[in-house]
A and B are shown apart, each in its own frame.
Chain A
Amino acid sequence: MIKNILNLGDAAVYCDFGKDVNQEINTNVIKYFKNIREKNIEGITNITPSYNKLIVSFDLEVTSYSKVKQLIENLEIEEKKEKQKKLIEIPICCETDFKLDHDRLEKLLKIKFDEILDIFFNKEYFCYMTGFIAGMPFLGDVNEKLRLKRLETPRVKVPKGSIGLTEQFCNIYTYESPGGWNIIGNTPLEIFNKNNQHEPALINPGDIVKFKQITKEEYDKIKS
């Protein structure tokens, strides 16, 4: 449940579900997200769930922090039927041009790159949330041997399709974007399709992702 409610600026409510990151807490966050969304509360402009936080933004012309906070506190949460989890396979190429942080990964993890890849591909990942940029999935949990921090200074441009690692998570850059995650490879798949306005994201919260290593030749073939 919500541990603490704070303001974030003058036009958002910050709901804190605690410090831990696990599937149980995340499921709770999503439950609140869905319930608030269904209420269609006047003035709410965005509801943004993440691992263990929920941010509810509002139009300051219409409502205020104290009003929205009260609404959330008094909300009756209904259990929602879980939709079935999907298993999605994502091909990645980890060769020359794509493994931008090859050296940094080897140096900080003190593991040879080949072994890093063995550990990385030998796992299925749970999608906790999508966002940052359109459709970017945040997946976990990465093996403890592969956990490292973000770059000290984020890159101004991370290429589209890049797969990044940070702490217990990995993600996929659905567009070229600034970003600070450690880049291990690149997928030729279109992860976000804006022309599908109803269901634009290939990977959604709750889905399971399995990565598959491919060669540059296979990459080019899928891309073309």
Chain B
Amino acid sequence: MTKSKVNFFTVERAGVNTTFQDNGRKNLNHIGIPTSGAMDKRNYLIANALLKKDSNSAVIEFAYQGPLLKYYGDKLFVAITGDVQFKIIKDNKDIINGEPYKVYLIENGDQIDIQSTNKSVYGYLAISENLILDKIWDSISTNTKAKIGSNNGEKLSNNQQINIEHKNRNTSLTKLNYINSKIEYIRVLKATNFDYFSEKAKEIFFNKEFKVTKLSDRMGMRLEGQILENIVNTNIKSEGLVKGVVQVPSDGNPIIMLADHGTIGGYPKIANVISADFDKLAQMTPGSSIKFKEVSLDEAEKLFKFYNLETNNLINQIS
């Protein structure tokens, strides 16, 4: 048999919500196209950095249970980031218990079995060679609700193939020591409709815990807690939304907008999660509790600078 020139993974098990993601799309919100892109930016960036790839390279994002992939082709390297439990099953049946933030060699016939994320939602699989994916509006990010992006806007499905453009990229078997820290508070700024809410609602918002419900996905996170009473109007004229907006519909339970959020909404905005806390927010699992803490715009900007500096330091540690 002649050696095949096509390199690919077969999807033996797709996982719960496995999609291709990059940095997402810009300047399309006005026609209703969400930004999309990786939910946990830091872990996405580290995954690419471990394999010395451009910061906007495509990765495989998974939630809860990840995919089981079998590889056919010339050797390549992979890295998994997030708080993830996985193993690599070599073609000769040897099993390697995987460690996140470490580069692994993958050869013909090897399998990557991503079993689960631990007390978190999202993880990332980066591959040293390029995934062959269609770009729409300059991004491969898949938005399954709008059916936009690579893989025909669908999540990965069983038995499909992921094709690889193999250029024998060099990389080294690096490892990064990094532990995903948990967060005590989600920090927010008051938003434009803060004063639509009663004094009691404001007090509840900043002092009581809210539970993350199962109705949470890449679009948004629905919370449940003491009802937030609106004393002005439970509807506003529909207007633009941004990532991190906390909307409160008339049932009094907050909804936080995430990467695939609708571009326009008509529920009052009580608060807005600060950019520095987006990654940690996205990793909160259904059933866990959220407490909000107010910060000023000035503090939010400083916290983002610090977050950014921390991410860059981690990336610089990879050599």
Contact = CB atoms under 8 A, between A and B. Distances in A.
Given A134-B146, A134-B148, A177-B262, A49 B240 contact: yes
Contact of A60 (B235, B269, B272, B301): B301
A131 B242 CA distance: 13
A21 interface: yes
Interface in B283-301: 297, 300-301
Interface in A128-164: 129-136, 138, 149-150, 152-154, 156
A45 B264 contact: no
Interface string A159-183: 0000000110100001111101000
Contacts of A11: 242, 275
Given A49-B240, A153-B251, A197-B136, A60 B275 contact: yes
Contacts of A175: 145-147
Interface in B251-267: 251, 262-267
Given A9-B189, A48-B29, A175-B145, A131 B264 contact: yes
Interface stretch (A50-58, A99-107, A119-127): A50-58
Nearest to A129: B264
B245 A132 contact: no
B294 to A, nearest CB: 13
A51 B301 CA distance: 29
B103 interface: no
A149 B235 contact: yes
A133 B33 CA distance: 6
B157 interface: no
Contacts of A169: 238
B137 A10 contact: no
A152 to B, nearest CB: 5
A7 interface: yes
B265 A9 contact: no
A53 B242 contact: no
A134 to B, nearest CB: 4
* Listed residue (B136, B137, B238) with the most chain A CB atoms within 10 angstroms of its CB: B238
15 contacts: A11-B242, A48-B263, A50-B239, A55-B239, A129-B238, A131-B31, A134-B146, A134-B148, A149-B250, A153-B250, A175-B145, A175-B146, A180-B249, A192-B32, A201-B31
Contacts of B318: none
Given A46-B27, A133-B145, A61 B32 contact: no
B30 A149 contact: no
A174 B34 CA distance: 14
Nearest to B269: A8
Interface in A65-118: 65
B33 A7 contact: no
B168 to A, nearest CB: 33
A47 interface: yes
B31 A138 contact: no
| Complex A-B, nearest 4 residue pairs according to Cβ-Cβ distance, in ascending order | A48-B240, A9-B272, A55-B240, A10-B300
Interface in A20-52: 21, 33, 37, 44-52
A176 B145 CA distance: 7
B208 interface: no
B85 interface: no
A64 to B, nearest CB: 6
Given A9-B242, A12-B242, A50-B264, A132 B32 contact: yes
B206 interface: no
Contact of B32 (A10, A131, A167, A180): A131
